[in-house]
Amino acid sequence: MALIVQKYGGTSVGSPERIKNVARRVARWKALGHQLVVVVSAMSGETNRLIALAHEIQPHPDPRELDVAVSTGEQVTIALLSMALMEAGIQARSYTGGQVKILTDSAYTKARIVSIDEALIRQDLAAGRVVVVAGFQGMDGMGNITTLGRGGSDTTGVALAAALKADECQIYTDVDGVYTTDPRIVPEARKLKSVTFEEMLEMASLGSKVLQIRAVEFAGKYRVKLRVLSSFEEEGEGTLITFEEDQKMEQASISGIAFNRDEAKITILGVPDRPGIAYQILGPVGDANIDVDMIVQNVSHDGMTDFSFTVHRHDYQKTLKILEPVVKHIKARGVEGGDKIAKVSVVGVGMRSHAGIASAAFRTLAEEGINIEMISTSEIKISIVINEKQMELAVRALHKAFGLDQPA
């Protein structure tokens, strides 16, 4: 008998029929003798509907009240799923984040989990019940409802699995696992039986939408065994996210090609090359809560250099505004940029023991006539910024060049 935490996303519980399907799946696991905690999102589209309602009342909704409003989406789903389980003859009980006592900080709309009191859940599990918990939400020390922001339900699932020391955390989505790249761009993309935690962390941070990065970080910190499965397929083992990489190290050097269209590049020209200049440029950007991704500083000529970095496309105009006074202050020549770029990344733990990955990637892009604007590397990834129009071509070419279309 294992203790399993299952998480179902909005698409998986998007209608009464789909909720009944989830109940049937949970019933099958229960029949095998397992203890089950089920975390659910709001029905697909519901959170967006509630946010839109709030915006109709208040152009910039009060964060506390917005959390009160949007948290009702999951409350509906947990009640409906518990009813569906009862209808299937299974004892079930639903809890909101606050009732479980998922304690968070008070950063409304993007709260972080501080601790989880699992006593109530353990009592119910011992009594033979399936416990259904609202994802995406918690409660701060003052009793205020909070929500966890993007990917919050994944994070709830992983956090509960960590607190309960569950044998496995299963994330059910509308895809049946983690692929070598997006099958919509490369039809030959293969589903991976397993990826290492590090690879998944890189893929999540680089634009792979299968798992939210916060959930992956949480899993890594508490060594939670994660599995990604499809809620629309009865069979299949999905993809296991594992911490054992020894057997993989000597095998395939590359696990996947990730990409992200939501990038913008900014270059400050003629920057005086002196200590502290990077902080003078990026300090105000960081203070505005804007994430900076890749950074490149050119070699200095006559005491001057060019300084380039990328931000999320949504933050492009805001960043340019912030930099206007900075450019004047540091006496740079000017600022230029564009939001028609994309980032393509080659990811794999095997890079540690395989030489020549970077040169193979650059050669592949050269053969396709694709110009590289920026490059950044880590121990297990190479990220390349290119023109957005050439992104799909680059993904397909790299996928083929590294043999990812071949059976494992």
> Can you give the pLDDT of all 408 residues of the chain as single tens digits?
899 999 999 999 999 999 999 999 999 999 999 999 999 999 999 999 999 999 999 999 999 999 999 999 999 999 999 999 999 999 999 999 999 999 999 999 989 999 999 999 999 999 999 999 999 999 999 999 999 987 789 999 999 999 999 999 999 987 888 888 888 889 898 888 888 888 888 887 776 667 878 888 888 888 999 999 988 887 788 899 887 655 544 555 788 999 998 899 999 999 998 899 999 999 999 998 898 989 998 887 888 999 999 999 989 999 999 999 999 999 999 999 999 999 999 998 888 777 788 899 999 999 999 999 999 888 889 999 999 999 999 999 999 999 988 876
Residue 182 sits in the same domain as residue 226 = yes
Contact 14, 43 (CB under 8 A): yes
From 219, 244, 269, give the residue that closes a domain: 244
Q: Look up the pTM and report it.
A: 0.80
Domain match, 107 and 48 both: yes
The single residue listed with the structure tokens 């909101």 is 96
Buried b (16+ CB within 10 A) or exposed e, 171-207: bbbebbbbbbbbeeebeebbbbebbbbbbbbbbbbbb
Same domain membership, residue 212 and residue 122:
yes
Predicted local confidence at residue 356, as pLDDT: 85
Two tokens at 218?
């949480």
Question: How many Å is the maximal CA-CA distance in the chain?
Answer: 78
Asked if residue 261 and residue 240 are part of one domain, the reply reads no
CATH code assigned at 215: 3.40.1160.10
* Domain termination residue (choose one: 185, 210, 244): 244
Dihedrals phi, psi of 3, to nearest 5 degrees: -100, 115
Alpha-carbon Rg of the chain, whole angstroms?
23
Provide the pLDDT for residue 249.
46
Note whether residue 380 is domain-resident: yes
Total domains, the chain: 2
Instruction: Return the pLDDT at 405.
Output: 85
Question: Long-range contacts of range 320-329, CB-CB < 8 Å, 24 or more positions apart?
Answer: 320/266, 322/284, 322/285, 322/288, 322/290, 323/266, 323/268, 323/281, 323/284, 323/285, 326/280, 326/281, 326/284, 327/268, 329/280
Give CA–CA dist 195/245, Å, rounded: 8
> Does residue 96 lie within any of the structural domains?
yes
For residue 281, the domain's CATH number is 3.30.2130.10
Domain that holds residue 225: 3-244
Residue 408 lies in a domain: no
Residue at 251 is within a domain: no
Structural contact between residues 342 and 259, judged by C-beta atoms closer than 8 angstroms = yes
Alpha helix positions (H), 40-71:
46-57, 63-70
- Whether 249 is in a domain gets the answer no
Measure Cα distances from 95 to 57, 206, 252, 317 in Å: 29, 34, 44, 42
Q: Is 250 a member of any domain?
A: no
270 found inside a domain: yes
Strand order in the sheet with 334-347: 292-297, 304-312, 256-272, 334-347, 381-387, 374-378
Query: What count of residues does the chain have?
Result: 408
Strand order in the sheet with 130-134: 92-95, 130-134, 35-40, 3-8, 168-173, 226-230, 239-242, 194-196
Q: What is the Cα–Cα distance from 82 to 124, expressed in whole angstroms?
A: 13
